[in-house]
């Protein structure tokens, strides 16, 4: 069975600085998706970024980028130029590549952003 682990329950960063959130996962499959979701106090789950395991290039979305290390089964999220609005819970998630399937989530990291 696939598992996702986030070992940092809480992180903090100063506004305009950079922060990296860690995620590791375990799977026996070679092709899959990895995601980072943001959950602000409103509870809404917002997709931040996704990575296809068959792509070697790390995904980027504006200030958000990932460091995907397939052999190490590591998938970290880097937030550059942090903003107050980035404060939220961040969840790492895994999904099988082929066909539609469920998301498997990590336990989340609470990010605080200080002015």
Partner 1 sequence: DAGVIQSPRHEVTEMGQEVTLRCKPISGHDYLFWYRQTMMRGLELLIYFNNNVPIDDSGMPEDRFSAKMPNASFSTLKIQPSEPRDSAVYFCASSLGLAGYAYNEQFFGPGTRLTVL
Rule CB under 8 A: which residues touch partner 1? 31, 33, 42-45, 47, 50, 52, 91, 97-100, 102-108
User: Smaller CB distance to partner 1: residue 80 or 104?
Assistant: 104
Let me know: does 66 contact 53? Beta carbons within 8 Å. no
The two beta strands, 46-52 and 32-39, are antiparallel
- Please, which residues have CB within 8 angstroms of residue 103's CB and are 6 or more apart in sequence? 35, 93, 94, 95
Give least dist CB 67 to partner 1, A: 21
User: Smaller CB distance to partner 1: residue 49 or 82?
Assistant: 49
Give least dist CB 54 to partner 1, A: 9
Give least dist CB 75 to partner 1, A: 16
Classify residue 80 as left (phi > 0), alpha (psi -120 to 50) or beta: beta
User: Smaller CB distance to partner 1: residue 46 or 84?
Assistant: 46
């Amino acid at each position: 069975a696939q598992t996702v682990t986030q070992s940092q329950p809480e992180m903090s960063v100063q506004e305009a600085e950079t922060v990296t959130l860690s995620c590791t996962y375990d799977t026996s499959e070679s092709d899959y998706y990895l995601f980072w979701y943001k959950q602000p106090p409103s509870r809404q789950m917002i997709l931040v970024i996704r990575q296809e395991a068959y792509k070697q290039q790390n995904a980027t979305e504006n200030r958000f980028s990932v460091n995907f290390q397939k052999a190490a089964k590591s998938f970290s999220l880097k937030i550059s130029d942090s903003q107050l609005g980035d404060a939220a819970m961040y969840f790492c998630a895994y999904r099988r590549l082929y066909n539609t399937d469920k998301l498997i989530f990590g336990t989340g990291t609470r990010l605080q952003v200080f002015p």
